[in-house]
Amino acid sequence: MDAPRPGFGYDSCMKHPLYTIGYEGAAIEPFVLTLKKAGVKTLIDVRDVPISRKKGFSKNTLRMTLADNGIDYVHLKGLGDPKAGRAAARAGRYNRFRTIFAKHMRTNAAQVDLKVLEGLAEKRPVALMCFEHDHCCCHRSIVASALVSLTGQTVHNLIVDKALFDHASFCQRSTAAA
């Protein structure tokens, strides 16, 4: 396994970083390589429905591929975006999507899985995964923010085969441009 690049991996004197990643437009091999380069030890699938038409990204196939590369896989359905939220996002109704997902995050299922995520994220570097390439248009950024409020971790958004983007500054630029 390649060693994490400077700035990507876990420094034992600090809290584990929290990563997010989307697989839109990605092939499985560079996706896994991006996780490995970042030093991710557990991929947290936050899709409501963990199946994909994209080869390699359905739950069981993804789990096996990750295991072959030394990365654990955990699906947290309670942190998935409900159907109505996904429909609003696909339609470009991002305020409606955020309202729906914020309400969902108050459900018992979401709160239970958020606690599970908190425990996993405190033990080792994790990445939250969903489909969307742009984390600012994806519910994983909301999940990441909820976790940060509990743990104080720093969020880094991985782009497959691209540079690491800082969560807060990128979303601020994206929001300001809208």
Q: Count of CB atoms within 10 A of residue 7's CB?
A: 10
What is the average pLDDT value for the chain, to the nearest integer?
86
Q: Give me the domain span that covers residue 134.
A: 18-168
Say how far apart CA 94 and CA 83 lie, in whole Å. Answer: 14
pLDDT in tens, 35-84: 999 999 999 999 999 999 999 999 999 999 999 999 999 999 999 999 99
Residue 158 pairs with which residues in a beta bridge? 21, 164
> Which candidate, 118, 126, 113, 119, places its Cα nearest to that of 17?
126
Q: Is residue 177 part of a domain?
A: no
Q: Is residue 10 part of a domain?
A: no
Q: Is residue 88 part of a domain?
A: yes
Q: Give the ranges where the chain is alpha helix by DSSP (H).
A: 28-38, 59-68, 83-90, 94-105, 108-123, 139-151, 167-177
Helix (H, G, I), strand (E, B) or coil at 167: helix
For 91, phi then psi, to 5°, come to -80, 0
Residue 20 pairs with which residues in a beta bridge? 128, 157
Torsion of CA 109, 112, 118, 124, to 10 degrees: -80
The domain that holds 65 is classified in CATH as: 3.90.190
What's the pTM value of the predicted model, to 2 decimals? 0.82
Report, as an integer, the average pLDDT of 156-176: 57
Q: How many domains does the chain contain in total?
A: 1
Q: Is residue 178 part of a domain?
A: no
